Amino acid sequence: MAEDAERPETVDEEEPTSEDADEASVEEEPKERKKRGIPKIKNPLGLIFNLRMLRRVVQILFLLGINGYIFAAWWGADAITHFWESFRDILPTIPIIAPLEAPFGVIAGSFDTMQRELTSGTFPFFTLGAMIIILTVLGRVACGWICPIGTLQDFATLPNRTKIRPAPNTEKEMRRVKAYVFALVIFLAAWMGISRLTGTAEELERVLGMFADAPFDPFNPAYILFVVLPDQVWPTSIDTLWYLSVWPMTVWLQVAFVLIIVIIAFWFPRWFCRWICPAGWFYGIFSRDALIGIGRNPARCTPDTCNVCEVVCPMNIQIRKFPYDHMYSADCILCLECKSYCPNKAIEIRFS
């Protein structure tokens, strides 16, 4: 059960109205332009400087910045190294997925850090506290603008204008998966932590193997990209291409998993965030009633005849079902795609 959704062409191009048509005849627009039906663009700079473009730029900067230390490693310059190391010393945790032990990482994800703390037998007071403050004020804005795995999916989706939107019931069922993944991960992490505290962890460590220190990591695309891959021997020339053959089979399977995430995102925007990511599910608990959120202006919104906001929403949220004043959805990542595309400019950012 799926319906295809056609994405509108651009944000700033406006459908010509009858008013525009009148204007055009008065100003005698070039016949060629009228014949080809090229819409009037009120602000050509808006094609470049707009909210969507801003988000893409921020996403790319963070994708590079999260692993900023890699530049220091490449250039080997002491000043740059110290600059990035100063970030690593503070190592802020933010509600995204970014592994704590990435060799080039300067920022860690709250969920990743929480798992490590639990499995080592520590309750993550500080990580949880910081995470809850960020989420209750800003909502899941970090998912929409910073998380590297969200970014990869968004860019994979970008070239495809026809997305597949599962029917609401299917979507609802699929969203449950991430809650089950979360429960399993936290159960294993807490069990491991208690075993370590009581000195009985040896057997459990042996059984859990690669899942022992952070149970979600083997399936965490951020961990695979930023920890597992940098840890492999990389070929530096044609002669050393055979290094790839010594990569363990588990690494190849993990790489295949990341590729699958990206490929599926071409048709299903942010499918990993919507259905699988346990961190996203946990963040949603606190972001639902966040201070900053999305609302609709009832004087402008025409929900009976328009569904553009829902069609463009990468999280497949049924925006029109929420009250006008504030959309309390645990799945909203404040990407503002709905705001960019709304033909009536009815979507507003609300502080309440």
Shortest CB 50 distance to ligand SF4, Å: 15
1 CB-contact burial (10 Å; exposed 0-12 / middle 13-18 / buried 19+)? exposed
Binding ligand SF4 by CB under 6 A: which of 70, 131, 135, 143? 143
Q: Which of 113, 49, 142, 146 is nearest to 340 (CA)?
A: 49
- Show the tokens assigned to 337: 């795609």
- Going residue by residue from 302 to 331, which x/- string records binding to ligand SF4, judged by CB under 6 A? -----------x-x-x-x------------
Q: Which is nearer to ligand SF4, 72 or 315 (CB)?
A: 315
Q: Which stretch binds ligand SF4 (CB under 6 A): 26-34, 78-86, 164-172, 271-279?
A: 271-279
- Judged by CB under 6 A, does residue 280 bind ligand SF4? yes
Residue 135: which of 292, 295, 327 has the closest Cα?
292
Does residue 96 touch ligand SF4 according to CB under 6 A? yes
Beta-ladder partners of 296: 347
CB 188, min distance to ligand SF4, A = 19
User: Position of tokens 């525009």?
Assistant: 20
Nearest to 82 by CA among 106, 101, 59: 106
Residue 15 Cβ vs ligand SF4, minimum distance, rounded to whole Å: 21
Q: How far apart, in Å, are the Cα atoms of 63 and each of 59, 77, 232, 332?
A: 6, 22, 21, 21
C-alpha triplet 114, 119, 125: angle, nearest 5°: 40
Selected from 216, 272, 275, 282, the binder of ligand SF4 by CB under 6 A is 272
Out of 294, 311, 342, 346, which residue is the one contacting ligand SF4 (CB under 6 A)?
Answer: 294
# residues near ligand SF4 by CB under 6 A: 23
Gap between the Cα atoms of 17 and 23, Å rounded: 10
Token output for 92:
């802020």
Stretch that binds ligand SF4, among 29-37, 188-196, 244-252, 276-284 (CB under 6 A): 276-284
- Residues of this chain that interact with ligand SF4 (CB under 6 A) are 96-97, 143, 147, 149-150, 272-273, 277, 279-280, 294, 313, 315, 317, 319, 332-338
